[in-house]
Structure 1
Amino acid sequence: MTDQDPAPTPHRRISTKEAAELLGVKPETVYAYVSRGQLGSRRGQGGRGSTFDAKEVEALARRHSRERQPARSRGELSVRTHITLIDGDRYYFRGVDAVELATRHSYEEVAEWLWTGDLRPGARFSAPEAATAVARRAVRALPSTSGPTDRLRVAAVAAAAADPLRFDLSQQAVLGTARTLVPTLVAALPPVAQGHRDEGSSLARGLWARLTGRPVDETALRVLDTALALLVDHDLAVSTLAVRLAASARAHVYAALSAGLGVLEGPLHGAASGLAHRMLLEVLDQGSAAPVVAEELRAGRAVPGLGHRLYPGEDPRARALFALLADVPGAAPALAAARDVVATAARHTPLHANADLALAVLTVSTGMPAGAGETIFAVARSAGWIAHALEEYAETPLRMRPSGLYTGPRPPQPLPAPADAAHPEA
């Protein structure tokens, strides 16, 4: 402190009654805050009553006020984006109806629209041989217990290691990576159909051979391609937010995509279609949805494939896929089972089918395994994640750094005693 610095002004101290009024609680609650370490206190002059630092009480009052407010009113995290808008029972990619776009254009064309705002008719992606070879070796090394997202995540990491220019985050460099990374993920997966060749094929055709050993059915292949395009993005899903956080820290696009894959694996996100797949198989086996739905409800579980927090009515993605599935040879039994599930569950709660149930109909009717829906979802969403990474690279770095709302004991606290001292042997 220099000679010119003024002496610090001591904080104003207030009584228990004043503290209680500021906090909007009873005086005994103020002492409860003290016992929990949330407030400090001193004995008043003459040893009568307690006094409190006014600034500390005001800070606690503000903290409690924030905690009592609903999330949206206190500024729920929102992120600027021009990629996807969800409005009522419809959603849009860059202002264009997403269902119309996905049913008229290929997955690659829709991905280009998200990335650049340009529609490139006939767009095709190709996987570099070197990156594909590295990714395939890495995937083959995984144990048999690995799941679909495990394989895609390892493929992304391996492809990154094979790309020495991955740290170039310029728009053109990331776009170049995007057009090779998504097909590399698909090419790294082991084909079910032996002798399959990818040269010049669409991404959906390459993925088909990695999900089922059945010959390609062109009608079902169109449903798969449309599903990829419909699922490419869906605003700020939790996996998309993870991607944007990684991109905000300037992680390269492979790492950002890996962040999304890590979040996707949860049963409430990408793996949900597998639950719906197994449920449909059980309905088909039992001949009725009633006992299957009853068992789900008895166990306290939500019925897979029903309801979506963003749509009060039917998920538009499900509606579009069900319409296409009606023309797929052999899909009628799975479609009937799905309708039976919806009708049966409606007696308990009126929920509509979502995209997971539609994916389950596709995977069941084409002989795909239960995890196929998760693979479709992950591959589809990869292009959307890259679109969000591109957006985030153009923003201020680390802009999504929230502040923690500390609710622990007020410092300073004494150092904890060692465990053996705190719990001596008897």
Structure 2
Amino acid sequence: MTDQEADGERLTTREAAERLGVKPETVYAYVSRGQLSSRRDPAGRGSTFDAKEVDALVRKGRREPSAGSDVTQRIRTGITLIDKDRYYFRGVDATELARHYGYEEIADWLWTGTMRAGVRFTAPGEPLAAARRAVDALPAHSGSTDRLRVAAIAAAVADPLRFDLDREAVLGSARTLIPTLVDALPVAGRPHRGEARLAQRLWTRLTPAQPDEPSLRVLDMALSLLIDHDLAASTLAVRVAASARAHPYAVVSAGLGALEGPLHGAASGLAHRMLAEVLERDSAAAVVSDHLRAGRRVPGLGHRLYPGRDPRAVALFGALEELPGARPALEAAREVEATTARHVELHANVDLALAVLSVASGMPAEAGETVFAVARTAGWIAHALEEYEERPLRMRPSGHYNGPRPPRPLP
């Protein structure tokens, strides 16, 4: 450092945080990322920061997107990397994580960076009771995502501390919200009591069939594989909500709203119905032909982010092969893939693998969507934690107005 730099204006942590419009702990996050440098105060009262560096970071954050781009194309994230036909959570192969750890362990590690073996998420009494009352009041034909959204809202109302966005408070909300969503769903089978892992409790909400340990392991793997997948539509909605400093429950509600579209979370239900029809008609070719004749895409095939095979599907199919009861649905899925490959090479994606699990386990068509939503909640929380450290309201792109030019007469 030159003498001139040494003599420049120095800011305390509080002053730097105020100038940046962030919390003091976020200032240290900028230091850890190499975006700011710090120096100990000679008086021993903490760290100080170069005012010029802080002002440069402020200008960088306020800079308008260049023509033809927007802020959503410049979102920094350290959660998921998709590289060719593999994907990684914080640099670790996500499929290997799913093979060696449970959903709750991976979720907690993704949030904190610490792997706690055997960690369990439990729902507190009052928010769970409120969520169950709200879900029970819905019409019988309500879908699972309807129930999850209502449960999230009811749990939020029962939590007076939901507006506390300090990191530990958000983590506490996350660890209770996910089990609340699961335990608020209607029971289809014999419920598990006590400290059962989340996959066990979710299974009883999806099917009356009694699970064996291999089946529960497959469901737990499915949850783990689906925790996050970069900036999917629902995750982008979550980041926008978190940028506006919405609390964790509202952030999850935003994600659930975007997830419900047929091109996102509901895709596995379409694949489920297709597989059920293949098994009923004993002909993948006939079912595929009907889809193409009607101008519909064959569900469960292809993924825009993977030129080859979807690694989530590969891992889940591998686990499903260990279940004897899944063999007919697995063979049907492979027939669909092989039939379609005669014309275009599209590989099975994770929606088709979820469909095999739901068909083989006697679950309804929307079960895959439920698994997807519960699993992705952990990823949404991870993205919210990242966004809470960014400049507030940065997710505010400008629209390109193409309406009538003013002034116009009153209508």
**Does the TM-score normalized on the shorter chain lie above 0.5?**
yes
How far residue 191 of structure 1 moved from its aligned partner, in angstroms, is 0.9
Partner residue in 1 for 2:314: 319
The 3-state SS of whatever aligns with 2:81 is strand
**How big is each residue's C-alpha offset from its partner over 1:274-295, in whole Å with a ceiling of 9 and x where there is no partner?**
0000000000011110010001
Task: Look up the equivalent residue of 1:244 and give its one-letter code.
Answer: R
**In 2, Cα distance between equivalents of 1:75 and 1:186:** 34
Answering whether residue 323 of structure 2 is matched by residue 328 of structure 1, we say yes
**In 1, Cα distance between equivalents of 2:406 and 2:342:** 54
The 3-state SS of whatever aligns with 1:86 is strand
Partner residue in 1 for 2:401: 406
Partner residue in 2 for 1:228: 223
- Mapped contact 2:130–2:158 kept (Cα < 8 A): yes
Residue pairs, 1:91-170, within 5 angstroms: 91-170=87-166
How far residue 268 of structure 1 moved from its aligned partner, in angstroms, is 0.4
Partner residue in 1 for 2:202: 207
The 3-state SS of whatever aligns with 1:396 is coil
Task: Look up the equivalent residue of 1:273 and give its one-letter code.
Answer: S
How far residue 75 of structure 1 moved from its aligned partner, in angstroms, is 7.6
The 3-state SS of whatever aligns with 1:348 is coil
The 3-state SS of whatever aligns with 1:209 is helix
**In 2, Cα distance between equivalents of 1:131 and 1:199:** 17
How far residue 223 of structure 1 moved from its aligned partner, in angstroms, is 0.5
How far residue 348 of structure 1 moved from its aligned partner, in angstroms, is 2.1
Q: How many residues align?
A: 346
The 3-state SS of whatever aligns with 1:260 is helix
Distance 1:395 1:75, change over 3 A: closer
**In 2, Cα distance between equivalents of 1:112 and 1:135:** 23
Answering whether residue 380 of structure 2 is matched by residue 385 of structure 1, we say yes
Give 5+ residue unaligned stretches, structure 1. Answer: 1-64, 417-426
Q: Which of 355, 358, 374 does residue 363 from structure 1 map onto?
A: 358
CA RMSD of aligned residues (A): 1.3
Residue pairs, 1:223-372, within 5 angstroms: 223-372=218-367
The 3-state SS of whatever aligns with 1:333 is helix
Query: Which is higher, the Rg of structure 1 or of structure 2?
Result: 1
How far residue 132 of structure 1 moved from its aligned partner, in angstroms, is 0.8
- Mapped contact 2:300–2:349 kept (Cα < 8 A): yes
Task: Look up the equivalent residue of 2:180 and give its one-letter code.
Answer: T
Task: Look up the equivalent residue of 1:274 and give its one-letter code.
Answer: G
**How big is each residue's C-alpha offset from its partner over 1:86-121, in whole Å with a ceiling of 9 and x where there is no partner?**
011000000101110111100001101211111111
The 3-state SS of whatever aligns with 2:325 is coil
How far residue 218 of structure 1 moved from its aligned partner, in angstroms, is 1.0
How far residue 193 of structure 1 moved from its aligned partner, in angstroms, is 1.3
**How big is each residue's C-alpha offset from its partner over 1:220-242, in whole Å with a ceiling of 9 and x where there is no partner?**
11010000000000000000000
**How big is each residue's C-alpha offset from its partner over 1:287-317, in whole Å with a ceiling of 9 and x where there is no partner?**
1100100011111111000000000001000
How far residue 186 of structure 1 moved from its aligned partner, in angstroms, is 0.3
**In 2, Cα distance between equivalents of 1:145 and 1:76:** 36
Q: Which of 72, 76, 80 does residue 84 from structure 1 map onto?
A: 80
The 3-state SS of whatever aligns with 2:182 is helix
**In 2, Cα distance between equivalents of 1:405 and 1:170:** 36
Partner residue in 1 for 2:192: 197
Task: Look up the equivalent residue of 2:157 and give its one-letter code.
Answer: A
**In 2, Cα distance between equivalents of 1:251 and 1:400:** 13
Percent identity between the two aligned chains: 70
TM (norm. structure 1) is 0.80
The 3-state SS of whatever aligns with 2:147 is helix
**In 1, Cα distance between equivalents of 2:347 and 2:92:** 24
**In 2, Cα distance between equivalents of 1:76 and 1:246:** 13
Task: Single out whichever of 196-205 and 262-271 deviates more from structure 2.
Answer: 196-205
**How big is each residue's C-alpha offset from its partner over 1:119-138, in whole Å with a ceiling of 9 and x where there is no partner?**
11111100011111110110
TM (norm. structure 2) is 0.83
How far residue 76 of structure 1 moved from its aligned partner, in angstroms, is 6.2
How far residue 150 of structure 1 moved from its aligned partner, in angstroms, is 0.2
**In 2, Cα distance between equivalents of 1:180 and 1:413:** 53
The 3-state SS of whatever aligns with 1:92 is strand
Give 5+ residue unaligned stretches, structure 2. Answer: 1-65
**In 2, Cα distance between equivalents of 1:341 and 1:412:** 58
**In 1, Cα distance between equivalents of 2:89 and 2:164:** 27
**In 1, Cα distance between equivalents of 2:72 and 2:237:** 16
Task: Look up the equivalent residue of 1:277 and give its one-letter code.
Answer: H
**How big is each residue's C-alpha offset from its partner over 1:43-99, in whole Å with a ceiling of 9 and x where there is no partner?**
xxxxxxxxxxxxxxxxxxxxxx96xx6x6xx88623111000101100000010111
**In 2, Cα distance between equivalents of 1:269 and 1:220:** 25
